[in-house]
Structure 1
Amino acid sequence: MKEPGILARFETGFERFRLEVDLELPGDGVTALFGHSGCGKTTLLRCIAGLQASSGRLSVNGDVWQDSNTSVPVHKRPLAYVFQETSLFPHLSVSGNLDFGYRRTPAAQRRIHPQQVIDWLGLGHLMERRPERLSGGERQRVAIARALLNSPRLLLMDEPLSALDQASKRDIFPYLETLRDTLDIPVIYVSHSAAEVARLADYIVMMDQGRVLAEGGLQETLARPDQPFALEHDAAVIVPAVIRERDDQWHLCRAEFEGGSLWFRDDRQPETGTAVRLQILARDVSIALAANHDQSFQNLLPARVTDMAAEQRPGLTTVRLHVGETAFLARITSRAVHQLGLAPGMAVCLQIKSVVIVE
């Protein structure tokens, strides 16, 4: 019987660092390995690729790549690895670099074709350029396209945006979202950026000192009030929503989610019916006992308190609330919790500024 998804159990160590993980990851979508530098993310990725010696077991959608009796060598594992540096061939054009990746794959195993990646990653106008004439974001898009033309059954990405400036990151995000929504192969994405993970991932693994602190679906894991990675300052929830209305006079959009709707500013001016992910930081959410419309908040949502957790820093509390079935986090002072008399099950009003919601 085939094992579903990705089963990754590894033990390895060197000097003072030891990696011990036991994971069952989805067999599709984007799984993010998230944590501070040195927590073991890249070591785990290298174990999966077969680049790091380790004991354990690895199976990918039912095919065993490593166990006590099996160890598929690196060059025979049907995966692609995208590094921080693109390593494009400088003497070849974009077309030549893509052709190199495509020709490495036997014809019978080709499931992804050049025109597909050219369309997915917007490379049509760049095909005759050499790498020195590309921006950082364009080079990374070419590197991803070349990797995909190996027709991998697993795509590994090791902080692919870390070398890019903010403008290049903004430019490449829509292409990565297209890949997430289009590819039928699993992607394991290493990052220490909460913003990248929030925008791209479906599943998240939080790591520290070579071990897994928490794992699960992106929404439910990020909405934990105890914040297992001590990310209180950057704690955020992701709210999947659909654009239902645009207010062109005030440059706002209204997006419906399961339980309500939110107004937010979006310079991209999406069409109605567009699916979006809204990122809402806990520090940008406030709580009132009743709705007061005589103020500047554009989003006043009836909510219920579900649970609370004191933060590591004294005097602060993370409160989890639900609007319908959708979870939100509010980061407030413990004094405010006391003054409002907040308790699980209590009905309150959630207040969120439109200008702080990120799509």
Structure 2
Amino acid sequence: MTILVDVSHRLGGFQLEARFASPGHLTALFGPSGSGKTSIVSMIAGLIRPDRGSVEIDGRVLTDRASGIFLPTHRRRIGAVFQDARLFPHMSVRRNLAYGKWFAPARERYADTGRIVELLGIGHLLERRPNLLSGGEKQRVAIGRALLASPRLLLMDEPLASLDEARKSEIMPYIERLRDELKIPIVYVSHSIAEVARLATDIVVMSDGKVAASGPTGEIIQRLDLLPAEERGEGGVVLDMTVAAHDIRYGVTVLKSAAGEIRVPRIRAETGSAVRLRLRARDVMIATAEPVALSAQNILRGKIARIAHASNPLVEIHVDCHGQQVLSRITRLSLDALRLHVGQEVFAVIKSVAFDHENLSNSLADQGF
């Protein structure tokens, strides 16, 4: 399902010029506050009519200023989830969920209440009122209500921004399940690289009202220059890996991909399960000889594919590990001391403790350390 956005709009002194295409699934609009993310969401939802341009979802034209097409919000069949859950306080969870159904004509309803309740793990909450729910539980109910409207597209505007780290950890696996088990495309707004690296299949980077870059998550996440200064320490690469084994004695899970094996604190996932691993550039050391007698257990062999000179005094080393890219951020001093150059064989070294709940995801199984 393809999402096509090509719009231009002035909001006071702010000029928005955004053009991108995404294959759907989960597309993240990423960038700092004021970069234009929420404005794009509003144009997709039909809350703002752009000065120029068009919005198209899976071949269905929602907006086309040149042709005079502008479907009203209630006819777009778009579900929305915001920072605050916006549940009706006087209604039970069951009634809040039921309210979502009325936004779709009976003949076009496809969402099954039982399946959505099971998918989001909210069956035990049905008779409660919102004031008795945690922040994460409220957001799961809000997502359920949006899905029961049988939408063609789900918009999620900073849905985790108001939650603490514990509640974020609680809800992210459910968003992963939506991404992987439902066929509804999701547009997800966030300014957190940890969120989008874990959840997104594609990223659109916004900066000052313009699209700075767009593409698959694995490609965009390597572009540290695209990240706000405060987020650059979180940049790196995303590796799709498989659970190879569990070491119960030491509480370790072994993950495997073409790049090699990586050991992480144990996760509850079946052998053979797919896992997405975020490897931050700041957590990767470079060695010119295979290390011995070292506490770090993760050593990947590869060749330097590229050296990018970042802001002084840092450089970015791109290492090709059997077709998979690993990114390391080191100082210029280290670069010169090791005499690193493109084509050189090196070893990327990573500590197992570098991986926490934000760096690992497995939507096929419940997680835990």
**Shorter-chain TM-score tier:** over 0.9
Q: In structure 1, how many angstroms separate the alpha carbons of the residues matched to 2:199 and 2:115? A: 20
Report the counterpart of residue 26 of structure 2 in structure 1: 30
Q: In structure 1, how many angstroms separate the alpha carbons of the residues matched to 2:261 and 2:310? A: 29
| 2:43 is the alignment partner of 1:47 | yes
Task: Report the AA paired with residue 114 of structure 1.
Answer: T
1:41-69 alpha-carbon deviations (Å, 9 max, x no partner): 11111111111121211111111111122
Q: In structure 1, how many angstroms separate the alpha carbons of the residues matched to 2:224 and 2:129? A: 49
How many residue pairs are counted as aligned between the two chains? 353
| CA apart distance, 1:259 | 2.8
Secondary structure of 2:70's aligned partner = coil
Contact 2:259 2:300 in 1 (8 A): no
Task: Report the AA paired with residue 179 of structure 1.
Answer: L
% identical equivalent positions: 42
Report the counterpart of residue 253 of structure 2 in structure 1: 253
Give the alignment of 1:1-359 within 5 angstroms: 5-26=2-23, 28-54=24-50, 55-67=52-64, 68-69=66-67, 70-224=69-223, 226-227=225-226, 231-266=231-266, 268-312=267-311, 314-357=312-355, 358-359=359-360
Contact 1:225 1:320 in 2 (8 A): no
Q: In structure 1, how many angstroms separate the alpha carbons of the residues matched to 2:96 and 2:275? A: 33
Secondary structure of 2:98's aligned partner = helix
Q: In structure 1, how many angstroms separate the alpha carbons of the residues matched to 2:47 and 2:258? A: 43
Task: Report the AA paired with residue 193 of structure 1.
Answer: S
1:101 to 1:225, Cα distance in 2 relative to 1, 3 A: closer
Contact 1:226 1:318 in 2 (8 A): no
1:253-283 alpha-carbon deviations (Å, 9 max, x no partner): 10111231111113x4322122111111101
1:33 to 1:129, Cα distance in 2 relative to 1, 3 A: same
1:49-105 alpha-carbon deviations (Å, 9 max, x no partner): 111121211111111111122111111111111111111111111110111111332
| CA apart distance, 1:328 | 1.1
| CA apart distance, 1:227 | 4.3
Alignment TM-score, normalising by the size of structure 1: 0.95
1:104 to 1:225, Cα distance in 2 relative to 1, 3 A: closer
Q: Which runs of 5 or more residues in structure 1 are unaligned?
A: none
Task: Report the AA paired with residue 130 of structure 2.
Answer: P
Contact 1:214 1:228 in 2 (8 A): no
Q: Which runs of 5 or more residues in structure 2 are unaligned?
A: 361-369
Identify the range of structure 1 (103-112 vs 30-39) with the bigger mean alpha-carbon deviation: 103-112
Q: In structure 1, how many angstroms separate the alpha carbons of the residues matched to 2:321 and 2:189? A: 31
Secondary structure of 1:240's aligned partner = strand
Pairwise CA RMSD: 1.4
Runs of 4+ in 1 over 4 A off after TM superposition: 225-231
Alignment TM-score, normalising by the size of structure 2: 0.93
